Structures are given as structure tokens and as C-alpha cells.
Amino acid sequence: MSSRKTFLAGAAALAAVPGRALAALPPPYAATVTLGVCGPFTGDDTKFGEQIANGVREACDDANQLRGAMDRAFAMRTFDDENLLASGIVTAGFACDDPTIVCVIGHLGGHITESAARIYAQRGMPLIVPASTFDRITEDALGNVLRLPTKDSTEGRLTAKYVETWAKPTKVAICYQDGDYGFDVARGFAQQLDADKIALASVEISYSKPNFPGAAVHALALNPDTVYLAGNVGDMGDMLHALRAAGFTGAIATSKGFFSQQTLTKYAADLGHFAVATPLPPLELAPTVYRTRTTFEQRYGAGTFTYLSAFGYAAAQIAIAAIRRSGTNDRLALLRELQLPAPYDTVVGSYEFLPAGDAIQPNMYFYGIRDGKFRYDSPSIPTGFLIR
């Protein structure tokens, strides 16, 4: 399993079997607009694709329940890419060849999403990204991509600003692995510290053959008072134990890959002065989301409104809002609508997008540990979406 997939495994719980009847079918005279959902629906990562699809399905059903008699109805169709690069490219072609699909929501992995985005751009298909934070998805400014979760390098910069206030460091050791997740986060973190004149040093750890005790010795030889871990708990969680075992008692900050129950259960004794970032806001503090969460979990089970489900729901909300604004069933007209600067209110906050496809005002949310649980501390940017 790749390191980026490990993050998703840590960040999301298993999707439950539906426990509520599906919404009634629209009348036969209603125009139906279909959203494509591309992700893994067979193979080892099936549960992650299902979570994205469950979010999109719920958003479509909620929109249909509020529609007027002559309003468009919304449906979804899944396309299975098995979370494999070759399959993702083929699946993107299938979605574009389907004339009923006006927008795609997906994929899961970063490299797959990046490659598929180029195909969609060539075919005039809008793509809304609910899962991957891989920087390169939006670097080429293809014009057809909107991405909801904050990209890796921006996460690193925002986390560095938080750490400067939270830990007040004088020297930071930044540790990351040479896999497909971690380097961009570490790079953004280092750029911000350097801009703010805070001393730093980087330690690269092998992904295929990690030596965490050796990496800990190397990091602590730099005499840091704070350590930042950019990676996934499933891949480099043992670095937490290695640092503490080597005698480090200072602050440890981590990227979103550590926002996982595994961090609490396996490394509770090693956390100490600890902080973790995530692009998913604390939805329990968002009163406008209460009904959506409750209804979703009645259907799929307690605790199923996960990172992937929430961002899948939000991606569908954006597509539906743009379709209603444009009054069209045409993907090119929808693409032009999505390219316009306009606000979108979703279950994960309000968004406006830059031409490249990332949010104008990206945000991250930071947690500490108290009583053996993650406890929300603060966002990068305060927002009226949340109450305290």
C-alpha cells in the first residue's frame, strides 16, 4: 500500500451498509443530470471509493428531496479505477465517453488523479477532487479542476505558522519519507520556517527500508526543540517512539497522515506535547452540518461521515450548485460556470477557487491530545462556519 493510501486508511473508517431507503425516483418527465464518481470499487481500496460515492449519493438524494416538480433531478454513476494508474486513465476515458456525465468527482490516489485530470481537460470534462492533496494536480492550471482539501505544500506552510505560535521553536528538525506523500508537506513547512527566520534541518527517511532509531539519532544530533513529522502514521509512526526512546522530550507536530485512531491506540505513551493537522474541519462544531451528518449516519451507520464521505458530499454540492446556476445539462457550459469566481457553501466550509483549482482561502485545523483523545485547538484561519 502506498503511503498516500495509508493516510486515507488512517483518516477514514469503513463505510457501512445502507440502512435507509433510497430517495424516491424522480418523475419520468424530469430532466436528470448525472455525476460520475471515479474511484476504487473493487480491490483492496474498495471501502474508500464507497465512502466517496456514499457522500455524493447522499448529496444527490438531499438535493432531489428539495427539488420542485420541474427542477432537474440528480443522479450518480460509478466508474471503477481500482486505485491503479493504468485503470484510472482508462476509466477517465470511459467517463468522458458517457454522454450523460456532466462532471466527474474523483479519484483517490494523487498520481491517478493528476493523470486523469489531463484526460478530462482534453475532453472538456469538469473534475472536482474530494480526496487527494497531491500538489501536482493543480500545478499545471488545466482549467477544469477544482480541489477541496488543502494541498500538501500549503498544509506545510499553514502548519508551520501554527507551530511557531504553539511551540515557539528556536530550531526544528523536519522528518519525512521518500515515498509519494510527505516531501511536499515538509517542503512547504521548511519554506515558511525559513521565511520567518527559524532555524531548521531536514532528515529524509527511506520509505522502503526505514531505520527510525537511526533517523531519531540523526534528528536529535541537530539539537532541535521541536520535531515535525511529515508522513503517515502507518508508515512512520514508529518515529514517534524512536524519538521518545532516544530521550527527546520536546514538542512533536505532525501532518494530516497522523490524524488517525492508530496514533492514539499504538503511540499514546509517546505523544507528549503533540499536535496534528487535518484539512477536515471539526464538524461537531458546525451547526449547519448537524442535520446532514445525522441523516447520513442514520443511513450508513454511526461514525461513517468520514473525511472521504464529507468531501465527496461537498464536491457534489458544488457540482449541483453550479448546474443550478448555469441552468444547463451540458458539461462545457458547466465547466464555464465552474471557472467563474463564485462562492460555494458546503458541509466542509465555504469555498471560492483560484483559476488553477485550489481554494482562494485554504484552511487547516489543528488538534492536540487530552484524556487520550484528539482535542480540537484552532484553525489556521478563523471562520464563522465553526462555533466554539
Q: Which DSSP string do the residues of 281-301 spell out, in sequence order?
A: --GGG-GGGHHHHHHHHHHH-
The CATH superfamily label for domain 153-278+364-379 reads Response regulator (3.40.50.2300)
Spatial distance between the Cα atoms of 316 and 321, rounded to a whole number of angstroms: 8
Which of 331, 349, 370, 362 has its CA nearest to residue 34? 331
Cα→Cα distances 281→116, 187, 341, Å: 28, 23, 23
- Convert the pLDDT of each residue in 286-323 to its tens digit: 999 999 999 999 999 999 999 999 999 999 999 999 99
The whole-angstrom separation of Cα 289 and Cα 126 is: 26
Per-residue burial over 159-185, b = 16 or more CB atoms within 10 Å of its CB, e = otherwise: bbbbbbebbebeebbbbbbebbbbbbb
Q: Which fold would CATH assign to domain 3-150+285-351? A: Rossmann fold (3.40.50)
Structure confidence at residue 17 (pLDDT): 39
The set of residues, in sequence order, having a beta carbon less than 8 Å from that of 4 and lying 6+ positions away, is: 109, 110, 132, 134, 179, 180, 181, 232
Hey, is 14 helix, strand or coil? coil
Per-residue pLDDT, averaged over 214-230, amounts to 97
Query: Are 12 and 51 a contacting pair, CB within 8 Å?
Result: yes
Say yes or no to pLDDT of 25 above 60.
Answer: no
Work out the average pLDDT over 364-379. Answer: 95
The residue type at 356: A
Which residue type is seen at 381? I
Residues of the chain with CATH 3.40.50.2300: 3-150+285-351, 153-278+364-379
Q: Model confidence at 329, in pLDDT bands (50, 70, 90)?
A: confident
State the pairing for strand pair 365-370/373-379: antiparallel
Model pLDDT for residues 117-174, shown as the tens digit of each residue:
999 999 999 999 999 999 999 998 999 999 999 999 999 999 999 999 999 999 999 9
Rg of the chain over Cα atoms, rounded to whole angstroms, equals 21
